[in-house]
Chain A
Amino acid sequence: MLPIGHYLFLSLALFIIGVVGVVTRRNVIVVLMSIELILNAVNINLVAFSRLYGDVAGQVFALFIIADAAAEAAVGLGIIIAFFRNRETVLADEMDLLKW
């Protein structure tokens, strides 16, 4: 395995790309996909440290994060479908029902 800094930098790059996607994109589906990317970046960190310390607990927690990502995707996409049925849009800045 390479020095741990390589994995941290890869994880940081993916995390920042994900955050930029969450903040800038208008389409809610792409926002959800960016969140998946962020969770994935965290997983890289966990697995890299698990390998470094020879402790498998990091991989177990990565498994839990994958399960959480599945739950989050299911609920988020359910919300998107319900919202699309009501308002005919998937754009974040048109979701302003609570704004006024």
Chain B
Amino acid sequence: MLDKALFYFFAGIAVVSAVLMVTRRNVVHSAIFLITALLATAGIFLQLRAEFLFIVQIILYVGGIMVLFVFVIMLVNLDVALQQIQFARQKWVALIVAVALAGQVGVMFWTSGKMPGQGLPVLTAAAAAKLPPNSETVARSLFESYLLPFEIASVLLLVAMIGAVVMAKKRA
């Protein structure tokens, strides 16, 4: 019951603030609403008992990436953009893409009800009290099974950092 209430609470916040993010004219407002959506997603992670990811989401996404976004919004002069047309003329493309995506998933749900064994998994998750400690299992998995992808991700971050510095640097 509490699980359900928490899920609908966070999911509602996430969807509403995502819609507001896409529709607001002011970019700073968009950034604030994206932060709200990301925080609500962190709540969903916590409801799924992924505590480590919950903390990482808040510290890294909200505290790191979004601060970067807000910095760039401040650097880039927006007074001009505020008076111009907000949306590009691609409303029909957007509508077609959205309907196609929703249709695909709708067909998936519809057919999964008719073909037993073909649809969504119906097994039940383990009880929350019986889960192993989250951070510990994540760390074990990350540094035992996925050590090479972990190192590759660090190289990727290094490359991205160098690329960002080189591109944002003033030309000599």
> Contact: B68 with A26, CB < 8 Å?
no
Please name all residues of chain B whose beta carbon is closer than 8 Å to the beta carbon of A19 when the two chains form the complex.
94, 97-98, 101
Q: How many residues belonging to A are interface residues under a CB distance threshold of 8 Å?
A: 71
> Contact: A59 with B85, CB < 8 Å?
no
> Contact: A30 with B27, CB < 8 Å?
yes
Please name all residues of chain A whose beta carbon is closer than 8 Å to the beta carbon of B120 when the two chains form the complex.
3-5, 8
Please name all residues of chain B whose beta carbon is closer than 8 Å to the beta carbon of A6 when the two chains form the complex.
7, 11
> Contact: B21 with A10, CB < 8 Å?
no
Q: Give A93 to B85 CA distance when docked, in angstroms.
A: 11
B125 in complex: contacting residue of A51, A69, A75, A93, CB < 8 Å: A51
> Which A residues, 1 to 42, have Cβ-Cβ distances below 8 Å to chain B?
1-8, 10, 12-21, 23-27, 29-30, 32-34, 36-37, 40
Please name all residues of chain A whose beta carbon is closer than 8 Å to the beta carbon of B156 when the two chains form the complex.
67-68, 71
Chain A's closest residue to B145 (CB) is A57
> Contact: B14 with A60, CB < 8 Å?
no
> If the complex has contacts A33-B30, A90-B81, are A59 and B15 also in contact, measured as CB distance less than 8 A?
no
B164 in complex: contacting residue of A10, A62, A77, A91, CB < 8 Å: A77
Looking at chain B's contact residues, the main secondary structure is: helix
Q: Give A8 to B44 CA distance when docked, in angstroms.
A: 12
> If the complex has contacts A2-B3, A2-B7, A25-B88, are A37 and B123 also in contact, measured as CB distance less than 8 A?
no
> Contact: B141 with A57, CB < 8 Å?
yes
Which B residues lie at the A interface, using CB under 8 A?
3-4, 7, 11, 14-15, 18-19, 21-22, 27, 30-31, 34, 37-38, 41, 44-45, 47-50, 52-53, 56-57, 60-61, 64-65, 68-69, 72-73, 75-76, 78, 81, 84-88, 90-91, 93-94, 97-98, 101-102, 105, 109, 120-121, 123, 125-126, 128, 131, 134, 137-138, 140-142, 145-146, 149, 153, 156-157, 159-161, 163-168, 170
Q: List 22 A-B contacts (CB under 8 A).
A: A3-B120, A4-B120, A8-B120, A19-B94, A26-B88, A27-B27, A29-B69, A29-B73, A33-B31, A33-B69, A34-B21, A50-B50, A51-B50, A53-B121, A57-B141, A59-B53, A67-B157, A68-B153, A70-B157, A73-B69, A81-B72, A82-B167
